[in-house]
Structure 1
Amino acid sequence: MAAYFSIILVIVTLVSGLIWAIDAFMFAPKRKQALAIAEQEKALTDEAKEKILQEPVVVETAHSIFPVIAFVLVLRSFLYEPFQIPSGSMMPTLLVGDFILVEKFSYGIKDPVWRSKLVETGEPKRGDIAVFKYPENPKIDYIKRVIGLPGDRVVYRNKHLYIQPACKDGENKCPGLEIVDRTEVNRGEFSQDGFPMLRYTEHLGKVDHDILINPARGEMLQAYFRQPNTQPYEFIVPKGHYFMMGDNRDNSLDSRFWGFVPEANLVGKAVAIWISFEFDRTDADFLPKWVPTGVRFNRVGGLK
């Protein structure tokens, strides 16, 4: 729906702007000329003058909406776009009901229809929370954390994350495979199917962020994405691609299962929660489930 909305927004902006421009250069001068002729013939009341200069309904509508939707188009396409978190795959960092702000220019300025990169502005960094087009269905937006950069070797084994950064040009000694350190925060703050989950602070390069591990759930190696000549738990990130994972490690459909995210699929970097709603209604409640039960003001702010 987001992709269709972008196209519709562009079309409405172009059509309304075109209608406004044609009227301004062709028909508005004719109405002014008609007013001048009428005033030469006789004195006119203000009401009569207004009637002669009055814009057609279509033009008046275009005149009213064009500045607004043009501003929305520029803001949404090139600067910031709001997104809603629909699932718990990024818990505890992001909860269902969080509304986030995505910085669209973090990974390059792209046109809003064909998504061709117009200006280079930066690349994803390890630890970024990124929104991207799901590779298997680009109509769907996904949000995950950037774990592997192009050329990296990523290993996820026994619920521990290991990374071997890509060897840079000119380096005589390439970095080795190292475990990503993590510190236990608590047990049982979150649970799944009655089992307490473990909360850790993971130290991913310069970014410290929290993750969840469900000790009662086994690893699904048989469902992992497979690359030729690699182990089932090993991933070599191709050039121009990124490896993404959810912070809720045992409840996230991510690169472990469907592969890598092409650079062209990147939408932007999640930078803040601008509002967060609670949705605790059940089928027995009078109001529908999509009506919020409260606002989590303590969650509003920047992301890490």
Structure 2
Amino acid sequence: MNWKFFSKNKKTTPTVKKSKTREWVDALIFAFIAATIIRGLLFSAYAIPSGSMEGTELTGDYLFVSKFSYGARMPITLFSIPFTEPEMYGAKTYWSGVQLPYFRLPGFTTVKNGDIVVFNKPSETGTPVDQQTTLIKRCIAVPGDVLTIVNAQVYINGKIVPSAPKAQTSYTVVTDGADMNPQIFQDLNITIVNQSAANTYEMIIPVDNLAALKSYSNIKSITPVVAPAGQYDAEVFPSNPKFKWNIDNFGPLTLPKKGMTIKLNDSTVTLYSTAIEKYEGNRLGKSGNGYTLNGQKADTYTFRMNYYWMMGDNRHDSLDSRFWGYVPEDHIIGKAMITWFSTDPNKGLFNKIRWSRILRPIN
């Protein structure tokens, strides 16, 4: 019997030891690929640039956003410089000559009412979806929901939606005319929006700090600012005087749902033309008393995507769906999960870090 395959004299190919330079190059390539996969499919880090979610999320917060919760959206712009903003120093970091169709991997859940969601701003035109400005807001209504706002109170399907625990809005504050120490506003995180008279201000005040402000002897009254029903605001969706809506009195409006069919008439076209044309790529036209769709007479339209309604928790200092309407599903990036770091832009170097917000779950 031949046992030569156990022989110690069997020839082996000598291992070539990598140079230090090659080892570093291989490590960098591996790190780049791993980071690209993690950032593209699992998590991304985002910073809060404005106060639209103030109270819940603060300017200077840094977030981890889960992409796998709703399913990772595959890249739409094929050629872009990884880990950069869409525009840097006035130059684009992507080439839009080749764009892939929208596709999303399966997720563990769907966007739900109350989720804090990161998405691309839908009102931007001429820019690929995945290169549009990144925003963070709270999902107020999901596909098929009927949204109504009455005197600043949100209703979904006729039921009151409680405000976020740290929600903020604006108030008219009347004083006795005496000067107030500016440190008070800083300590209570109060923003002065405007001053209409010597003793009358509009202020954005955190709910938790209302009582503290009222306790000052020179405060005569504090009342919520609410735009009255029927007062038309041309900046508010759908920006048409047929619908006399404003940020505090709005709707009812049904959120489009994939497979939902609507009749095409003057009212529905006013409310849904943006979704039909801009987001779903159709061409609506008027033909006598009816409408055409892509050149053909049409009485109805069936939506191909789901749409969501996003609003900031800082209701009177948030540019959100009340101004630019629905957020299509292909604009959704992911769910905000953790505030991993936070800095206060108004504080000095040695007390800039908000230690209490580090590794804080988001809800």
Return the alpha-carbon distance in structure 2 between the equivalents of residues 122 and 153 of structure 1: 22
Aligned mate of 2:135, from 142, 155, 158: 142
Q: How does 1:278-293 map to 2 (within 5 A)?
A: 278-280=344-346
Gaps of 5+ in 2: 1-12, 77-99, 172-184, 193-200, 209-221, 258-305
Matched, 1:237 2:303: no
Letter in 2 for 1:298: S
Query: Number of residues paired by the alignment?
Result: 225
Higher RCO, 1 vs 2 (CA within 8 Å, ≥6 residues apart): 2
Q: CA deviation at 1:182?
A: 5.1
Gaps of 5+ in 1: 1-32, 37-48, 165-176, 202-212, 286-290
Aligned to 2:362: 303
Aligned to 2:237: 225
> In angstroms, what is the RMSD of aligned CA positions?
3.5
Q: CA deviation at 1:70?
A: 1.2
Letter in 1 for 2:34: F
Return the alpha-carbon distance in structure 2 between the equivalents of residues 241 and 266 of structure 1: 10
Q: Equivalent residue of 2:113, what SS?
A: coil
Q: Give yes or no for contact 2:311–2:318 (8 Å, CA) kept in 1.
A: yes
Q: Give yes or no for contact 2:121–2:135 (8 Å, CA) kept in 1.
A: yes
Matched, 1:191 2:200: no
Return the alpha-carbon distance in structure 2 between the equivalents of residues 292 and 119 of structure 1: 45
Higher helix share: 1
Question: Which segment is superposed worse, 96-105 or 293-302?
Answer: 293-302
Aligned mate of 1:152, from 145, 150, 153: 145
Q: How does 1:1-304 map to 2 (within 5 A)?
A: 62-113=25-76, 114=100, 116-137=103-124, 138=129, 139-164=132-157, 177-181=158-162, 189-193=188-192, 195-200=202-207, 215-216=224-225, 218=227, 221-226=233-238, 232=245, 233-234=250-251, 235-239=253-257, 240-280=306-346, 294-300=352-358, 301-304=360-363
Residues 1:192 and 1:261: Cα distance change in structure 2 (over 3 Å): same
Return the alpha-carbon distance in structure 1 between the equivalents of residues 43 and 164 of structure 2: 33
Q: CA deviation at 1:293?
A: 5.5
Letter in 2 for 1:251: D
Q: Equivalent residue of 2:317, what SS?
A: coil
Q: Deviations over 1:163-193 (max 9, x none)?
A: 11xxxxxxxxxxxx12324599899844232
Q: Equivalent residue of 1:83, what SS?
A: strand
Q: Equivalent residue of 1:162, what SS?
A: strand
Q: CA deviation at 1:101?
A: 0.8
Q: Give yes or no for contact 1:135–1:261 (8 Å, CA) kept in 2.
A: yes
Return the alpha-carbon distance in structure 1 between the equivalents of residues 150 and 235 of structure 2: 14
TM-score, length-scaled by structure 2: 0.54
Q: Equivalent residue of 1:117, what SS?
A: coil
Percent identity over paired residues: 31
Q: Give yes or no for contact 2:65–2:118 (8 Å, CA) kept in 1.
A: yes
Runs of 4+ off more than 6 Å? 183-188
TM-score, length-scaled by structure 1: 0.63
Q: Give yes or no for contact 2:141–2:156 (8 Å, CA) kept in 1.
A: yes
Q: CA deviation at 1:108?
A: 1.1
Letter in 2 for 1:215: P
